[in-house]
Amino acid sequence: METNETPRPNVGRMEAQFKALGAKLDKLVTHVEGVEAQVKTDYRKRIDDLKAKREAVRVKLDELKTTKGEKWESLKAGFYHAWNDLEAALKKLTHLTGEKKPDPKSAEGTDRSHPASGGPA
């Protein structure tokens, strides 16, 4: 049953961490520019996959922004699944490219398994 509640307040945190993941992806794109052709092709395929995963998270995040009541809980599980899938793929590619992890004390260092929880899954 839908209620007239406003969306959950932690959506702002989700949005900020989504933007931070986008910034990391942009850094990977820049890094790939200097890689040799064959490796570059593999990285490009992986980056295209990451972009598709990022778009899936964006769609779910947009849904969460406007969702109220009981539907919030239903959509939240799908969001977390998409989020964890994106984050795992991004970490794997970051590791493969040798990109350094951000300083945990920096603004980008808010890397969490669940962006709304403020902590690991």
Rounded to an integer, the average pLDDT of 97-111 is 51
3-state secondary structure of 66: helix
* pLDDT tens per residue, range 33-86: 767 767 878 888 999 999 999 999 999 999 998 888 888 888 888 899 999 999
What pTM, to 2 d.p., does this model score?
Answer: 0.59
2 φ/ψ sector (left φ>0, alpha ψ -120 to 50, else beta): beta
Q: What is the pLDDT of residue 109?
A: 41
Work out the pLDDT band at 88, boundaries 50, 70, 90. very high
Encoded tokens for 8: 């959950």
Could you give the CA distance from residue 118 to residue 14 in angstroms, rounded to a whole number?
10
* pLDDT tens per residue, range 105-117: 443 444 445 565 5
